[in-house]
Structure 1
Amino acid sequence: MGHQPGKSSLNLQTGTAVVFQILLLTHTWTGQSAVKDLPQTITAMVGDDVLLPCLLKPPKDASLMTVEWGKLDLRHKFVHVWHEGQEHGQRNERASLSASKLKHGDASLKLSEVRFSDGGRYRCYFPKDRREYFVELFVGSVSSPEIRLAGLDEASSGVMLDCSSGTWWPEPELLWLDAEGHVLSAGPTETTRGSDGLLAVSSRVTVQKSPNNTITCRIHQKDLKQSRETHVHVPDDFFVVRSSCSVSISFSVLFCCLFLVSASVLVWRQRHLFSAAKKKETTKTIEEQRELMRVEQELLDALKAQMREDLRELEKKLTIQMMAAQNDADEFNKIKDFQEETDTDTETDTDTETETKQNVNKKIKTGLDFKLKEIVMEHNAQLGERKKGYQEIQLDLQKMISGKKENQNQVE
């Protein structure tokens, strides 16, 4: 069979581990007759870092020695092992030794973030010198109390307060104090145990009205020499005043009356505001109508003035045209008179000439009549167009006034 380096290395490591465990068991067994010192007691709070002391006497370099830290109530006993400059068999990641301190014989064990379950007796053992040191770790827990309002005690005109703590260990004492530091009489303290073994306490007290009304809840643990307290100020309004049934009824009736009066005042005020707003809107509408009527009157006056001016212009034109027609008529009469004189002096006129003169006279008269008729028709047409324009302007004004009135009716 060929040689297998990996398998041989694994067998070597396994054999070394077995031998190391046998040595530890041998050292533990032989340590029963080791030199013992009186145990030291170390107190730590939950969450703190703590140092469990272990010093060789006389001091010497222990960096290459074997140091065993164990806890007597643990199943596997060992918490931390240092063997020939290396850590072995470490079962607690929060436990550590200082290599630099070991060179001076200091094998103190550091525990980080102490838990309540870390409490108990620890053993520091040096197998080579067969020396062991014991340390008693006492783990305590403290927390600040909290005060809450539990209710009002109408029978005594007092205020009920509850005080409760977080986790404590060992069991603390709960006290109620007034502003002068005097202990108040309170109900029994209730204690509850959590799943982690820590304790919580609570108590209730009924306080009466005082000049200060400042109440203190204090929690004290004498073994740990630790105290925590919380203060609260109770306002005067929280304290109820005793009253008879008649007084209560009177207050109720008075309250109802005040409520009705307030409601009436509120309704009256709302109506007054609405009336004032409506009146203001009406006044505004009337003013707008007046302004519109004034503008309309001004437009009508302007139209009348324009119509009068146009009539004057037309009359002037008509007069000029009439004068021209009169001039034509005068000319016609002159021609007629001249023809009559000619007829008297000349007797040799033929029938043809007479007919020609009559035709000329007829044409002249017809032309004058047609010209006068044309002037009158043109004058009438211009008057009709202007009258139609004035009627359209008046119709637009009436539409504007009607629209304004409809808007006013919608607002009302």
Structure 2
Amino acid sequence: MQKSRMKDKPLSVLLHGVILLLVWHCGGQSQMIGPTQPLIAMTGDDIILPCQLEPATDVVDLTVEWSRRDLKPRFVHLKRDDAELLTQNSLYSRRTSLSINKLKCGDISLKLSKVQVSDAGTYSCLVPEIGAEAGMELIIGSVSSVVMEISKFKNEIIFKCKSNGWYPEPQVFWLNSQGNQITAESKNSAKGSDGLYTVSSTVTVNKRQTHSFTCRVQQKNINQTEEAHIHVSGDFYLVQCNPAVQITINVAVCFLTIVTTVLLIWKCGLKKTKISRHDEEENEVHQTEMEEKLQRECEEKKRLEDDLQNNEEDLEHVQRTIKKLMEQKTSLKNQREKLNILLQEDKTEMKEILKKEKETPPLDKDKKMQKRGDKKTNLEKRTEVHEELLKTTEKLMEETENIIIQMTERKGKLEKDREQIIKHLREKQRIERDLEESVRETSEK
């Protein structure tokens, strides 16, 4: 990542040089730039709420407000007089922060840690002294794995699908082996005290047939889908025995049990202590292995979170750079048009001077020729300056276009990297949840 930033340095130097050449074109009131699309975050994650002053202005000594109008008190984070005040809503206590280094560059993005379901809403970032404000919507999501259960009742098989820990409320679908949707007998959804939803659904079919089903739970708002697949063959179900045969078998089993109990009871007593001790040792070894694996997964997850944050910061920097370059390109284009107009006027004026030189009477010829000569010389110098400025402008336009192409390619690569990091991070989160459950079950044993 450091090497990537070093490569950007020559481009940044050239960009600042171009902006300095055209500074007389710049000006205007600062405005706040925020995301145009809703932001999506999963519960437990950290997220950056982006907000940037354009043009960039140092706001370290200014008041910075982050708020939600639907809350009382409404402040999510408040910085005033170079101090972060404790007047924020208690829901966000110790979970928000601003970067001093970023504030110096007009970046008042807010870091929100350990996202909760209650964090969903519309946020506003404001610098009152400048009057610049922007709003954004944050959508919170939570996803959980799908569990399948099978039960039998008379001549029917009941398939039950269940998943808990979702937000917002998801939909449940059943699909057959061909991928076609089938109708479920029941669908239930309940919201817990933690704000998360638990959903379940059942399908009933006949026995002695081969069945293959997929239960899919999805939430389109956060673009999340989890599913479980089950396949049960017809010979899985045993035929019930005749009652008389069943009684005979039971009597035989009881007789054999009585005979063998006396022989086995003393062996069981000897082995019980050894087996119990062996099981405890195996459980301890297994729990240690699971805890070590969980630690490794947590470290890998932290590394991915750091990579994601660095990627998002780089992507934001590239997007701002592309925007400034496009504005610069437009400014250069306008300047080129103005210079072409000035050169056309120079040519017209030169034709007028040459025409008047031919028409000047002999008596006034010397005096007027000298005056027109001076004017002609000044015009030639001015034309030369305009031509030189036009060449410089065209060269700057070409260099700006090349930088835009490079930065656009960089943006595409960063976006692809971001998708891969998010994919791997979600997988690590799923593995971490499974490992925590395994460690808890092992410790209970």
| TM score, norm. by length of structure 1 | 0.48
Q: Which has the larger radius of gyration?
A: 1
